[in-house]
Amino acid sequence: MSLKIEPLSPQLGARVTGVDLAKPLDGETFRRIHQAALDHLVVVFPGQELSVEDQLRFTGLFGDIGARNRATPLPEGDSVPPTVMLVSNIRVDGKPIGSLPDGEMMFHADGAYTETPKKFTLLYAIDVPATGGNTLFANLYAAYEALPDDLKRKLAGCHAEQVFYTGSVQKDDPLGPLTGSWVHPVFIEHPDTGRTSLFVSRLMTTRIVELAEDESNAVLERLFDHEEKPEFVYEHAWTPGDLVMWDDRCTNHARTHFAKTERRQLRRTTVSGTALAAAKIKQAAAVEAHPGG
């Protein structure tokens, strides 16, 4: 097969065909896929037939496989390895067999509430609704670049608190205990590309540490509305057999509504990341904001 990489939208995303991820990859094929993920932020591999072991093997090519961060027992139990999450609304005896079962989910980045947010997330479609349950991806490089200058100056050197409660899909409706919280720069430098990314999300970001509460709330709402504009977003409608991989350091993702009567089951793995550094542009912006020292 011949590897083919085709852009999916002007915003972000690429479709990768001509590769069977159930088989080991040669070095050049892996290099091209890795570069596509960095260039396009989201890569879609349609028509894959992957076992849990296949998915874990492919995930491990990109780094250490991420662990689950849960304060409560996993609903998956022993049905999958502890590094795997089933994102599913399917219920047995009235209990979900997976995590994050129902409803629309706000924009977020996986692991943002930890010291080392995820590097990549990979999601494999097993059962999908007839309508709804799509995944939205927002390009946070582009969102940063399009920010008004006043926000770039105001937020240069600022930090945002990220918080997540187990199982929650809406910020104002925590469904479980606190999973974790951490403070990261509002503007981060991507560890692999060196590009500047906006690192806040509607689901997990609670405050900007350096601002008073009222100002922080107002600025965050402005940032959330900005980064979720259609010109920064690609919407993926799932087909069984899709494997979608995205970069959590420069994208947010969200889920659209779907009916509880529909079956939805996807299998998630992640790649562990590193601590995030503030973007170097903060110094230039700070000088611009406060000329003369």
- Return per-residue pLDDT of the chain as tens, 293 residues: 699 999 999 999 999 999 999 999 999 999 999 999 999 999 999 999 999 999 999 999 999 999 876 666 777 877 789 899 999 999 998 888 998 888 899 999 999 999 999 999 999 999 999 999 999 999 999 999 999 999 999 999 999 999 999 889 999 888 888 999 999 999 999 999 999 999 999 999 999 999 999 999 999 999 999 999 999 999 999 999 999 999 999 999 999 999 989 999 999 999 999 999 999 874 444 444 444 43
DSSP 134-202: -EEEEEHHHHHHTS-HHHHHHHTT-EEEEEEETT-SSTT---SSEEEEEEEESEEE-TTT--EEE---T
pLDDT at residue number 167? 87
CATH number assigned to the domain comprising residue 247: 3.60.130.10
Number of domain units in the chain: 1
Secondary structure letter of residue 292 according to DSSP: T
Q: Please report, for the chain, how many H helices and E strands are present, in that order.
A: 6, 19
Alpha carbon distance 21, 287 (integer Å): 48
Secondary structure letter of residue 117 according to DSSP: -
pLDDT at residue number 282? 45
| Domain range enclosing 197 | 4-289
pLDDT at residue number 69? 67
Among 117, 55, 110, which residue's Cα sits nearest to residue 100? 110
Token representation of residue 173? 């409706």
Alpha carbon distance 287, 273 (integer Å): 31
Q: Which residues contact 1 (CB under 8 A, 6 or more apart)?
A: 18, 19, 20
Strands 205-208 and 4-7: unpaired
Token representation of residue 90? 């399917």
